[in-house]
Amino acid sequence: MTTRACGFVIFRRMQGVVEYLLLQVSYGEYHWSPPKGHVDPGESDMETALRETKEEAGLLPNDLNIFENVKQELNYEANGKPKIVIYWLAELLNIDKVIQLSCEHQAYKWLPLEEARSIAKYQDMQDTLKKFNDYITKNLL
């Protein structure tokens, strides 16, 4: 059975520089990823992304401008099971908003594209960040 998870690649514009939010898990390989998590029964993908972003980063829907038509799907194996992860692009509107982590994460960073890609580690996550960055560069700057 395939595991499904959803979240947001969140960016902010900091003095002209686009930065991406990555969270470091507090278990296992201590890997970094955008806020995301498993889809609960009866939840839509977007409801999951919003719930997980609130739980993991303390960000509410009105903190974000969500680009519903800009999304990427990742497919990989996690803990021996196939996993699908859907990310939408979202912009943090108030750049001073404080990130509030849950116990699932031990750190967060706002990083420009290449540094974000570097700590994201996995090729498909790196490609996703690049594709979202291309969209931002072409349409929002």
Ligand X SMILES: Nc1ncnc2c1ncn2[C@@H]1O[C@H](COP(=O)(O)OP(=O)(O)OP(=O)(O)OP(=O)(O)OC[C@H]2O[C@@H](n3cnc4c(N)ncnc43)[C@H](O)[C@@H]2O)[C@@H](O)[C@H]1O
- Choose between 19 and 33: whose C-beta lies nearer to ligand X: 33
Q: Among residue numbers 63 through 92, which ones bind ligand X (CB under 6 A)?
A: 74, 76, 78, 83
Long-range contacts of 66-69 (CB under 8 A, 24+ apart): 66/8, 66/90, 67/91, 67/135
SS3 134: helix
Out of 104, 109, 112, 119, name the contact with ligand X by CB under 6 A. 104
Phi, psi of 135 (to 5 degrees): -65, -45
- Asked if residue 28 binds ligand X (CB under 6 A), the reply is yes
DSSP 97-118: PPP---TTEEEEEEEEHHHHHH
Rounded Cα–Cα distance for residues 9 and 7 (Å) = 7
- Asked if residue 45 binds ligand X (CB under 6 A), the reply is no
Out of 51, 101, 109, 122, name the contact with ligand X by CB under 6 A. 122
Out of 21, 37, 133, 136, name the contact with ligand X by CB under 6 A. 37
- Asked if residue 101 binds ligand X (CB under 6 A), the reply is no
Residues forming the site for ligand X (CB under 6 A): 5, 25, 27-29, 31, 33, 36-38, 74, 76, 78, 83, 104, 122, 124-125
